[in-house]
Amino acid sequence: MNMTAKKRIAIIGAGVAGMAFAILAARQGHFVHVFERRPQTGSELGAGVTLWPNASFVLKQMGLLDEIAKVSGKPKSMVRYDQHSSDPLNQAFSEKSRLAIHDINRQAQNETYSILRRDLMAILFDALQKTQAHIHFSHPVQAEALAQLKTEYDLVIGADGRMNSAARQNITSALSAESSVDNEAVYQGFINVIGISQSPFTLVDKTVIQDYWGDGERFGIVPIDDQTCYWAAGWVSLPKRKSHPFFTQKDLMHRFQHWPKPVIDVLQHAQGASINTIYVHDVNPITSWHNDNVLLIGDAAHAALPTSGQGACQALEDAWTLAQLLPEHDDIDVVLQQFQAKRIDKTTAIQRTGRHIAQTIFHTKPSDRAVDGSISQTPSHAIANFWMSGLIPSNV
């Protein structure tokens, strides 16, 4: 490890990317302040997260994987079922493909875990509390406050999410003098209603992620154990208007009443307070993630659709990669340039994959879907190699 000057670092946002980087930077001795607009951590939207082997690698390097494993599921396969009947009263589904997660894990030499988002955030927050970093809740950062942070800190990290990122606005405004750059999050034509289900009895097969693709509709079930799962119900929808409702358990039971029994069982045991409606947006890939001493990471830089399955994983990779670069260079400009160079190709590919899968699910008739319409058709070694690309164990 090279000796570099300790830096004052401001991090906007205490999501996965912001929290993970704060932990790593504070452990290196940097002076870290995190600014979070919400009143507490873990209060963000989201039911659960699949931590694929690349995320597990980072969490292992951070020393947090044992804690993660205690509260996580370990799925061994993902099965996709496609609707093969257009009769609304007989929505027959059959197995279309099967992804051997255990084989990907073996190739990647790291495990896959499924975890409730609140549990992941609690573990990250606990790790942050054990450092000298300071976190400021109920502290939103907009343009004026960002300008102030830029003068007070050596490095300002924009980890402020996909929808209204002040840091992304700052950077794209600087870029737009040279080219046309779109800072706005892009609605992708579908909604996700997400939630958590729990039963005193066996509810799901704890080893299998179930993914049902209908005609413009989808229902995915991710087990934590055989009595607990999180899920996402998706369907094509116009953009949100003020009058648009948030959907309830009753609404979902009606919409999916003729779907296979596992879907019905999960909905019957849904925890009402966990149900949330999300009008799903991503961002177009942008050409630069940094300007002056401001750097975007996580969803602020490269928000992908949930169909990519890689949102939290890429946030963790960002945090890890940036923390690896900090001890190597005193010059912040060099750090920011190298970070983008190391990360942008991979995250852009993941953004595009997410859009391709969403297009296949929500905007392609079941009869017109190509056999390779999902990741399940990709060889496990190719998936493992791509997900693990750029990840090298630390010698710091």
Predicted confidence (pLDDT) per residue in 206-265, tens digit: 999 999 999 999 999 999 999 999 999 999 998 877 666 789 999 999 999 999 999 999
In three-state secondary structure terms, 236 is strand
Q: Determine the pLDDT at residue 373.
A: 47
Q: Determine the pLDDT at residue 1.
A: 46
Burial of residue 170, with CB atoms counted within 10 A of its CB: 0-12 exposed, 13-18 middle, 19 or more buried:
buried
The b/e string for 237-275 (b: 16+ C-beta within 10 A; e otherwise) is beeeeeeeeebebeebeebbeebbebbebbbebbeeebb
Nearest 5°: the CA angle 299, 303, 304 is 140
Cβ contact 295:157 at 8 Å:
yes
* Ordered strands of the 155-158 beta sheet: 134-136, 31-35, 8-12, 155-158, 294-296, 290-291
Q: Determine the pLDDT at residue 356.
A: 92
Which residues, given as ranges, of the chain have pLDDT below 50? 1, 180, 373, 396
Q: Give the per-residue SS3 of 117-161.
A: HHHHHHHHHHHHHCCCCEEECCCCCCHHHHHHHHHHCCEEEECCC
Neighbours of 367 (CB within 10 A): 10
Residue ranges and CATH numbers for the domains of the chain are 8-72+114-185+284-354 (3.50.50.60)
Query: Global pTM?
Result: 0.94
CA distance 347 to 120: 22
Q: Determine the pLDDT at residue 396.
A: 44
Q: Determine the pLDDT at residue 244.
A: 65
CA distance 366 to 372: 13
Best CA proximity match to 32, nearest among 129, 119, 148, 124: 129
Cβ contact 324:21 at 8 Å:
no
- Beta-strand relationship, 31-35 and 8-12: parallel
Q: How far is CA 52 from CA 65, 162, 228, 275, 311, in A?
A: 12, 21, 19, 24, 10
* CA max distance for the chain: 67
DSSP string of 11-47?
EE--SHHHHHHHHHHHHTT-EEEEE-SSSSTT-SS-S
Neighbours of 368 (CB within 10 A): 8
Q: Determine the pLDDT at residue 374.
A: 52
Cβ contact 113:206 at 8 Å:
no
- The residues facing 187 across adjacent strands are 281
Reported as a single tens digit per residue, the pLDDT across 23-39 is 999 999 999 999 999 98
Cβ contact 313:54 at 8 Å:
yes
Q: Determine the pLDDT at residue 390.
A: 92
Cβ contact 192:234 at 8 Å:
yes
CA distance 111 to 387: 12
Alpha carbons within 13 angstroms on the beta-carbon side of residue 87 total 6
